[in-house]
Amino acid sequence: MTQYRSKTASVAILGILIALALALSLIDLSISAALSFLPGVRMGLAGGMGLFCVHRLGIRYAVIVLAAKCILTAAFSGSPTMLLFSAAGSFLGLLVTVAVYKHLSVIKTGVLGGITHNAAQMAVALMITGSAAFSWYLPVLLITGTVSGFAIGLVVIIVLQRTKKEAGSAGV
């Protein structure tokens, strides 16, 4: 875990990570709107921020970044219901990530996070509607969670390698 030399540096890093998570989430929303033939399917780009934070900065950073991302994405999208789906998926995915990240590879952790995220969102949908009529869609969400979790894991590995080099040269 990286330790920054001052509170100012920590706040600046958090601000950058939150802005990046929000931007990735809004990009993800735009892409998913174009894929309307797969409702509810998103790439999970912002989920990679949680995975990155857990590995590079610590769980506290991950919680702060994901909480801010959930609140801000719901506010920017104008959908209060999105906050329920986003928070359930993000924090259950983070819980699983925290439980396994020291024991599994980044890719396996990403896959488990993606699957858990989608399963949590399905659970929220079932609670909101009170109907299991669309539970047939769970296998689609599990497959897409696996694929996106794998891809996000690969990207996070690259970012972790690059930030390790950059952090060493920056003296943080």
One pLDDT digit (tens) per residue for the chain, 172 residues? 555 568 888 899 999 999 999 999 989 888 877 776 667 677 888 889 999 999 999 999 999 999 999 999 999 888 888 899 899 999 999 999 999 999 999 999 999 999 999 999 899 989 998 888 888 888 999 999 999 999 999 999 999 999 875 554 444 4
Nearest to 54 by CA among 99, 85, 115: 99
Dist. CA 145–CA 86, nearest whole Å: 14
Q: Considering the domain boundaries, does residue 1 fall inside one? A: no
pTM for this prediction: 0.85
Q: Considering the domain boundaries, does residue 143 fall inside one? A: yes
Residue with tokens 């509170």: 7
Dist. CA 63–CA 94, nearest whole Å: 8
Q: Considering the domain boundaries, does residue 2 fall inside one? A: no
Handedness of CA 90, 96, 98, 102 (dihedral sign): negative
53: containing domain: 7-170
Domain count, the chain: 1
